[in-house]
Chains A and B, each alone.
Chain A
Amino acid sequence: MARIDLVDLAQSYSGNDADPESFALKPISMTWRQGGAYALLGPSGCGKTTLLNLISGIVTPTRGQILFDGKDITPLSTQKRNIAQVFQFPVIYDTMTVGENLAFPLKNRGVPKAQIDARVAEISELLDLTPYLGRKATRLTPDAKQKISLGRGLVRSDVAAVLFDEPLTVIDPALKWELRSKLKALHRALDLTMIYVTHDQTEALTFADTVVVMHDGRVVQSGTPQELFDKPAHTFVGYFIGSPGMNIVPAEVSGREARIGGHVIALQRSYDRMSADATIEIGIRPEFVHVATPAPGLLQAQVERVDDLGRISFARVRIGGVKFAARVPQGFSIVGSEVGLVFDPGRVHVYADSRLVEGTA
């Protein structure tokens, strides 16, 4: 168990001299606290698996250092780092029983037999694997195999962190829910630092207390699920998290007003001295803007279709050329192809070159 610090860590698969923009992981510095449940969230190719493999030691960093409790472990091999990792596809040892699979990481490290048995019993109990301990690990369903992989990751009590690399990809949706809540429960029960890589926001938001959103080799925001939802630090976070994602509309902002094509939207905070050559956009989540009958004070939009998600409906509209989603209030029915949009001023964020601008009160 340890606190993990990344100091100016970067990875390039084409060498240190390559163009910094081509780095799979651009230099980052951050701290993972002991016992935290983290999710690394981002689309495919954003560098999240690279970051994970750097921490576990499968990949050696091009630059920077990794510290476990302040001790530099960058040059150490995976074996010496005391890290557990669970991979996307289940890795099981075919010739061994389920129990032997779980005991393997402990046996390799020369843990006494009695201790191994106790720990295997504990982990298999948590994962509901106890009835299958004596059975050959081959010929099991993929989710059972992945449970064994998870078990092998969790069986060592002294690991610095347990890393999960999209471990639920191969699992059926129904079982995904079950395993995900199981992981959450395991985190509480075992007090291990866990880092969970995924491109599925639901997985990330349900599992983690801190979600680290990555985009194009950079960490764009790290915070609680609530923070990511309420205050995306980057337009990418805005539309990547949430379903549908945040609306991003080019606008002119000055003072407490934002202008979209001549129409004025009130802002709660004041934005002065906006950089002249930055691209200014405003962002608002579809949950906080709703459609209404067109009226003179409202921004007009053309309705394309309505997505009924059951509890809530979103209208997909267009403002000029920009796609936009807005909540349809219950009982409201859209007449014609034109609607007006009502904004919640407290929820409108302003972005300059994709980054959040904090206004003044």
Chain B
Amino acid sequence: MMDKTVNQKAWFLVLPVFLIVAFSAVLPLMTVVNYSVQDTFGNNQFFWNGVGWFKELLDPSSDLGGRFYASLARNLAFSAIILAIEVPLGILVALSMPRDGWRVAACLVILALPLLIPWNVVGTIWQIFGRPDIGLLGYTLNHMGIDYNYVSNEFDAWATVIVMDVWHWTSLVALLCYAGLKSIPDAYYQAAQIDGASRWAVFRAIQLPKLNRVLLIGVLLRFMDSFMIYTEPFVVTGGGPGNSTTFVSIELVKIALGQFDLGKAAALSLVYNIIVLIVCWIFYTVMTNVGVDHTKREGAV
């Protein structure tokens, strides 16, 4: 056997990537880390504060901690609600889509439309749509005797933000599920027919298990997106009424740009980031394990 040649020059090949990542990700992140352990009173003068901001952030009795936990709770509730609506609805839409013919293309285009609209435009559409004075939805609802006003009523504000997100993103789940359904071979349906399976049994025994993986991806995407949501609720409700639709990202922008509390904002964004990373990691682990299950063979019968 020949010995491997040792040649450290290969590191130079990695250098460009290293530099790009450093400038685009590591350095900005480190700036944030830097802010998170310091305090400033302006004039570019900084004082060491150690983990002070983190302590305050994670202490529910402080003003910062209270706001953080409240917005985090709102954000998790929001994500849970939209997932509970969008996933079943997306599956339902995918199941009722045509299998072939020109109607497939028509359905795909219609479904893709909301996905193509810029987020702040979606916000603006719904902001106007829901206005009681000139908005089609708001005007109609109020004329039907339903007192609907997303500016003053918390429930109405939540309902608007949720319906808007469902309108915007259910298509994504539906398209993913449709792709998943298309990949099921006909033989499965024929076999189920012969086995006398009802529509529900076909769904439970064939379609849902085969949708497993795309659904995981769909849930991951929708969770991350809704957990980091900023633009649409900000445009529609601006976080109000009161703080009722202030999600973590809105809170973060308020602290960083509204109050210019750089230290607090930096600590918050790091914690926010860590939560996102942990959730991603959990999903990634689950997904790769699902993949392993399909390829691993345990002995013959």
Chain B 282-301 against A: per-residue CB contact (8 Å), 1 yes, 0 no? 00000000000110111111
Set of chain A residues within 8 Å of B205, measured between Cβ atoms: 93, 95-96, 104
CB-CB nearest in chain A for B188: A91
| CB-CB contacts below 8 Å: A213-238 with B | none
The 10 A-B pairs with the shortest beta carbon distances in the complex, nearest first, are A144-B301, A108-B196, A91-B191, A105-B195, A93-B205, A78-B193, A141-B300, A94-B209, A87-B187, A95-B209
Set of chain B residues within 8 Å of A13, measured between Cβ atoms: none
Q: List 14 A-B contacts (CB under 8 A).
A: A58-B190, A88-B187, A89-B185, A91-B188, A94-B210, A95-B208, A95-B209, A105-B196, A108-B201, A131-B301, A139-B293, A141-B301, A149-B191, A152-B195
Q: Tell me, yes or no, whether A128 is within 8 Å of chain B by CB.
A: yes
Complex Cα spacing A334 to B110, Å: 76
Chain B nearest CB from A26 CB (Å) reads: 24
Instruction: Give me the interface of A with B, judged by CB distance under 8 Å.
Output: 56, 58, 77-79, 83-85, 87-89, 91, 93-96, 98, 104-105, 108-109, 128-129, 131-132, 138-141, 143-144, 147, 149, 152
Q: Tell me, yes or no, whether B198 is within 8 Å of chain A by CB.
A: yes
Inter-subunit contact B196/A91 (CB<8 Å) = no
Residue of B185, B198, B204, B298 contacting most chain A CB atoms (<10 Å): B298
Among A77, A84, A93, A144, which residue has its beta carbon within 8 angstroms of that of B206? A93
Pair count A-B, CB < 8 A = 75
Complex Cα spacing A129 to B300, Å: 11
Complex Cα spacing A87 to B301, Å: 19
| CB-CB contacts below 8 Å: B262-296 with A | 293-294, 296
Inter-subunit contact B301/A138 (CB<8 Å) = no
Inter-subunit contact A104/B209 (CB<8 Å) = no
Chain A nearest CB from B112 CB (Å) reads: 30
List 6 additional A-B contacts (Cβ < 8 Å) besides A85-B191, A85-B194, A140-B301: A58-B190, A94-B209, A95-B209, A108-B195, A108-B198, A139-B294
Q: Tell me, yes or no, whether B27 is within 8 Å of chain A by CB.
A: no
Inter-subunit contact A141/B294 (CB<8 Å) = no
Complex Cα spacing A95 to B212, Å: 11
Inter-subunit contact B301/A132 (CB<8 Å) = yes
Inter-subunit contact A139/B194 (CB<8 Å) = no
CB-CB nearest in chain B for A100: B205
Inter-subunit contact A58/B197 (CB<8 Å) = no
Complex Cα spacing A42 to B183, Å: 30
CB-CB nearest in chain B for A152: B195
Complex Cα spacing A147 to B296, Å: 19
Inter-subunit contact A83/B198 (CB<8 Å) = no
Chain B nearest CB from A57 CB (Å) reads: 8
Inter-subunit contact A89/B187 (CB<8 Å) = yes
Chain B nearest CB from A83 CB (Å) reads: 6
Complex Cα spacing A139 to B195, Å: 22
CB-CB nearest in chain B for A58: B190
Complex Cα spacing A93 to B197, Å: 12
Inter-subunit contact A129/B301 (CB<8 Å) = yes
Instruction: Give me the interface of B with A, judged by CB distance under 8 Å.
Output: 185, 187-188, 190-191, 193-198, 201, 204-206, 208-210, 293-294, 296-301
Known: A91-B191, A93-B205, A141-B300. A104 touches B185 (CB 8 A): no
Set of chain A residues within 8 Å of B296, measured between Cβ atoms: 139
Residue of A93, A96, A104 contacting most chain B CB atoms (<10 Å): A93
Set of chain B residues within 8 Å of A131, measured between Cβ atoms: 301
CB-CB nearest in chain A for B190: A58
Among B193, B209, B297, which residue has its beta carbon within 8 angstroms of that of A93? B209
CB-CB nearest in chain A for B194: A85
Residue of A58, A83, A98 contacting most chain B CB atoms (<10 Å): A58
Known: A58-B190, A93-B206, A96-B205. A104 touches B197 (CB 8 A): yes
Chain A nearest CB from B212 CB (Å) reads: 8
Chain B nearest CB from A314 CB (Å) reads: 37
Residue of B209, B294, B296, B301 contacting most chain A CB atoms (<10 Å): B301
Complex Cα spacing A77 to B189, Å: 14
Chain B nearest CB from A55 CB (Å) reads: 11
Inter-subunit contact A85/B209 (CB<8 Å) = no
Inter-subunit contact A128/B301 (CB<8 Å) = yes
Set of chain B residues within 8 Å of A77, measured between Cβ atoms: 193
Chain B nearest CB from A106 CB (Å) reads: 9
Set of chain A residues within 8 Å of B201, measured between Cβ atoms: 104, 108
Set of chain A residues within 8 Å of B208, measured between Cβ atoms: 95
Set of chain A residues within 8 Å of B206, measured between Cβ atoms: 93
Known: A95-B209, A105-B196, A108-B201. A85 touches B190 (CB 8 A): yes
Complex Cα spacing A149 to B190, Å: 13
Known: A79-B196, A109-B196. A143 touches B293 (CB 8 A): no
Chain A nearest CB from B196 CB (Å) reads: 4
Chain B nearest CB from A89 CB (Å) reads: 6
CB-CB nearest in chain B for A96: B205
Set of chain A residues within 8 Å of B293, measured between Cβ atoms: 138-139
Known: A89-B185, A89-B187, A91-B187. A139 touches B301 (CB 8 A): no
Residue of A88, A141, A147 contacting most chain B CB atoms (<10 Å): A141
Complex Cα spacing A109 to B193, Å: 12
Complex Cα spacing A197 to B8, Å: 63
Inter-subunit contact B194/A83 (CB<8 Å) = yes
Set of chain A residues within 8 Å of B193, measured between Cβ atoms: 58, 77-79
Complex Cα spacing A108 to B190, Å: 15
Set of chain B residues within 8 Å of A85, measured between Cβ atoms: 190-191, 194
Complex Cα spacing A175 to B218, Å: 41
Inter-subunit contact B197/A108 (CB<8 Å) = yes
Complex Cα spacing A78 to B187, Å: 13
